[in-house]
Amino acid sequence: MVSPFEEQPGIHGILSGYMGGHIENPTYEQVLTGESGHLEVVQITFDPDIFPYEKLLELYWPQIDPTDAIGQGNDRKSQYRAAILYHNEEQKTLALKSREDLANSGRFDNPVVTAIEEASVFYPAEEYHQGYHKKNPEHYKESRIYSGREAIIEKYWSNN
């Protein structure tokens, strides 16, 4: 989820990490089990005058299958479910409107079910996860294909 956002003007930083769950300072191994309750997330720091929140939403949707409430592609554990985590009421309102517009677009045969939830404590992932797509480009490319993400993007978003 990092690469679509990282080269955009007004994006100041992107950190991979974990949010939600019931363990403080979780490790990747704890999150990987699917039992910690955390989501694997990215935290994006941005300048809303240059890159408004609405543009974050526009760029987010084509990265996922918004009709899948359990995971994404072949990644079926709870930490992989798609969600928009808002930090204030304005973001919540914009995210809900964006999801509603997408649901009414006629693009999908199934309901749009992506969760929109209040953000909680963010825990940065371990250093080896930061910028993973650049540190391990071949493995990253293979995992996008194996996970089904490329197929999801092609199926739902190739005409976007």
Q: CA-CA distance, 152 to 10, in Å (whole number)?
A: 27
pTM: 0.89
DSSP alpha helix (H) spans, the chain: 3-6, 28-32, 53-60, 89-103, 132-135, 137-147, 149-157
- Report the half-sphere exposure of 30 (CA within 13 A, side-chain side): 17
Range of the domain at 16: 3-157
What digits encode the pLDDT tens for the residues 107-159? 999 999 999 999 999 999 999 889 888 888 898 888 877 777 788 888 888 77
Q: How many domains does the structure of the chain reveal?
A: 1
Residue 160, pLDDT score: 55
Q: CA-CA distance, 153 to 160, in Å (whole number)?
A: 10
Beta bridge partners of 45: 13
Give phi and psi for 149, each to the nearest 5.
Answer: -65, -40
- We report the CATH number of the domain holding residue 8 as 3.30.1060.10
What digits encode the pLDDT tens for the residues 12-36? 999 999 999 999 999 999 999 989 9
Q: State which amino acid sits at residue 101.
A: D
